[in-house]
Amino acid sequence: MRRALMGCLALSLSAPPIGVFLTLRRMSLMSDAMSHAILPGAAIGFLVSGLSLPAMTIGGLAAGLAVALLSGVVTRATLLKEDASLAAFYLVSIALGVLLVSLRGSSIDLLHILFGTVLALDDAALVLIGAISATTLVWLALAYRPLVIECVDPLFLRLSGRASTVTHLSFLAVVVLNLVGGFQALGTLLAVGIMLLPAVIARFWAATLSGLLPVAVGAAALSSYAGLLLAYHRDLPPGPAIVLTAGVIYAVSILFGRQGGLAWRIRRA
């Protein structure tokens, strides 16, 4: 439980800020597609070394980065929009991943990869998640200005030089990194939950970017802590419990959030 909490708190520092920028850029569903893009690489690592953390991590990272780069190339080289190219890669990736795992593993192995086992995090997994979190925070500090400009006026950034391409591709790489970190704890299907749900929650409580980021981090940390407590006392699977706790906070935010919540809208009317 201590390792699970430490891993989830480390993810809560890095994944929600990335989710905030995904929502601001209207790329929320992209993260879901990218989380499934990790699956074939993780499955190949599983075929080679079984349930080995290094092998599955390297495979997932390679597959995610490959899909991110390929979708970016397809978007820029053809008339296909980014969401359409990602959707195509997403469908192929999840089908290929499930097929590869089924060739050697059992249904239990497939569930482990799809939904994760946060209570099985060991020291190596914690080091990996911590390194991903630290790398993400350093990248955010370095790329914050062009990232904000791209959210507000992407055309201006594109006309100003090469910063647009570098920012976009590095952003996709950081998304993949955080999904790989989330995959260790929550599996490929739920990894995106700790990234997007806190970011969406923050939109109901903060009106500025400087407010969105800490609110999203706080919502993720609260969801992780409360979800693990609920799973421990009610004997529930911890990954779904964490995401469902975030879902409950999201529902409360819809009703009572200060920025567009239903209760505030009714009161103002």
Model confidence at 116: pLDDT above 80 = no
Quickly count: other Cβ atoms within 10 Å of residue 156's Cβ: 11
**Residue 182 is assigned to a structural domain of this protein:** yes
pLDDT at 73: 76
CA–CA separation, 16 and 193 (whole Å): 9
**Residue 114 is assigned to a structural domain of this protein:** yes
**Residue 237 is assigned to a structural domain of this protein:** no
Model confidence at 29: pLDDT above 70 = no
**pLDDT tens track for 151-164:** 887 777 666 666 67
Return the percentage of the chain with pLDDT > 70, whole number. Answer: 90
For residue 122, the SS3 value is coil
Closest C-alpha among 224, 193, 200 to residue 31:
193
67-85 mean pLDDT:
74
pLDDT at 47: 79
**Residue 256 is assigned to a structural domain of this protein:** no
What's the pTM value of the predicted model, to 2 decimals?
0.85
Closest C-alpha among 132, 130, 154 to residue 27:
154
User: What mean pLDDT, rounded, does the chain reach?
Assistant: 84
Residue the block writes with tokens 């079984």: 50
**Residue 269 is assigned to a structural domain of this protein:** no
CATH number at residue 87: 1.10.3470.10
Q: Where are the alpha helices (DSSP H) in the chain?
A: 2-24, 28-49, 53-77, 82-104, 107-115, 123-152, 154-159, 163-190, 193-202, 209-234, 238-256, 262-268
**Residue 205 is assigned to a structural domain of this protein:** no
105-110 mean pLDDT:
62
* Domain with 171 in it: 2-193
Lowest mean pLDDT among 53-57, 93-97, 108-112, 137-141: 108-112
Return the percentage of the chain with pLDDT > 90, whole number. Answer: 35
pLDDT at 106: 64
**Residue 118 is assigned to a structural domain of this protein:** yes
Q: How many domains does one find in the chain?
A: 1
Name the band, by pLDDT with cuts 50, 70 and 90, for residue 36: confident
pLDDT at 162: 61
**pLDDT tens track for 2-11:** 999 999 999 9
